[in-house]
Amino acid sequence: MGDKPIIAISHLGCEKNRIDTEHMLGLLVEAGYGVDSNEELADYVIVNTCSFIEAAREESVRTLVELAEANKKVVITGCMAQHFQEQLLEELPEAVAVVGTGDYHKIVDVVQRVEQGERVKEVSVQPTYIADETTPRYRTTAFGTAYLRVAEGCDYRCAFCIIPYLRGNQRSRTIESIVNEAKQLASQGVQEIILISQITTNYGIDIYGKPKLAELLRALGEVDVPWIRMHYAYPTGLTPDVIAAIKETPNVLPYLDLPLQHSHPEILRAMNRPWQGQVNDAVIERIKDALPEAVLRTTFIVGFPGETEEHFAHLLKFVERHEFDHVGVFTFSPEEGTPAYNLPDQLPQEVMDERRDRLMELQQPISLKKNQQEVGKVVDVLVEQENPETNQLIGRSGRFAPEVDGLVYLQGQVKLGTIVPVVIQNSDVYDLYGQVLNN
């Protein structure tokens, strides 16, 4: 057997993409390929691309062009490969393969075919694949944290979103499969499992005939892992049963990531989310009543076509009224192939930018107030990294999800990848500062 090529993977995009990257790494390692993080040493570089919005595509293209200029043979995978397969092969002679979002499990076969001189296009028109706990996986996240995909794809067709066209319709894994993977992760020392899918509150509809998130959370309560965090919970799916499951399952964090996108019923209708306008306020109040300790994160899109100053003022009042713990704001990005791309009354970028800044400015004192309320408390913190120059430890409390929320900066000596009690001594808009409590 000849020497197998060395392969590097350049990962771009979201945590759903990250899991695909981890499975590709796992499959390549299992097949005996050398995998190196150093792209310079690699014979092939797999670029797992993002195509969610214009800025993400620009980053993907930049990465591809840099690798091409360095004469690297490039395998393009992920959302952009699904989205622009023909153009990529046409415009990047260095691209030896494009692999779609539902085909990453064929990566070993693709590399073997490339090795034999073939230029490979492996893109399913309607992705149907979803990996499970038997698929090899090589984790790339911080030691104590792992993502666990409960479903892939989406049955909704929000007017601004390209994802269902790139990832296919929703397909859920069984509760047994998810619990088995959670147990595997727990046995590897993982302290925090983050459940992800396009719409986690719709989990199970396709295989069980109705949403089964409450049952899934209760089943995961039996797994020996301290924290289970849930991402992408649509407010309509947070039924009394789901809220009760969060409340009754000790290792499920009361952290709710609600991608609301807007508050005004007219904009929500234009976004093809008309159901949400009726429930926003009621559901949020119900969550706060049932789960007073809930941490609420949300994201909004400003500058959707037709958004007037009045619509935007409605959104400002909504944010002021509900005092979310964490808010992310995006400006509208017109995506070719989505209904919103052709809508009239598109707003100039400077208007969108100005609205984004105003909304973030409004949120900052709210975030600061929420953080200040933590000062003096003893909170559990998952310690994830150490600053090599200052030896300062950095981690997150249950209030903070990785990469999107704040951090906790710690004084004290503890092992990375452990959860420790910390007394919070100080705060700013985004982060907390504290001292590890000695036993």
Read off the tokens for 128. Answer: 């149907």
Torsion, CA 331, CA 335, CA 338, CA 342, rounded to 10? 80
Residue stretches of the annotated binding site for [4Fe-4S] cluster: 14, 50, 79, 154, 158, 161
- Residue the block writes with tokens 């100005």: 354
User: For residues 185 and 225, is the Cβ–Cβ distance under 8 A?
Assistant: yes
Nearest to 393 by CA among 421, 412, 406, 419: 412
Q: What distance in Å separates the CA atoms of residue 26 and residue 5, rounded to the nearest whole number?
A: 16
Backbone angles phi and psi of 155, in degrees to 5:
-95, -10
Could you tell me the sign of the dihedral formed by the alpha carbons of 51, 276, 221, 155, in that order?
negative
CA 67 to centroid of chain Cα atoms: 26
Residues in the chain, total: 439
Q: State the Cα angle at 95 between 90 and 101, rounded to 5°.
A: 95
Nearest to 46 by CA among 110, 117, 134, 127: 110
Burial class (CB in 10 A: 0-12, 13-18, 19+), 347: middle
HSE toward the beta carbon, residue 43, CA cutoff 13 A? 11
User: For residues 131 and 149, is the Cβ–Cβ distance under 8 A?
Assistant: yes
Nearest to 17 by CA among 152, 205, 162: 152
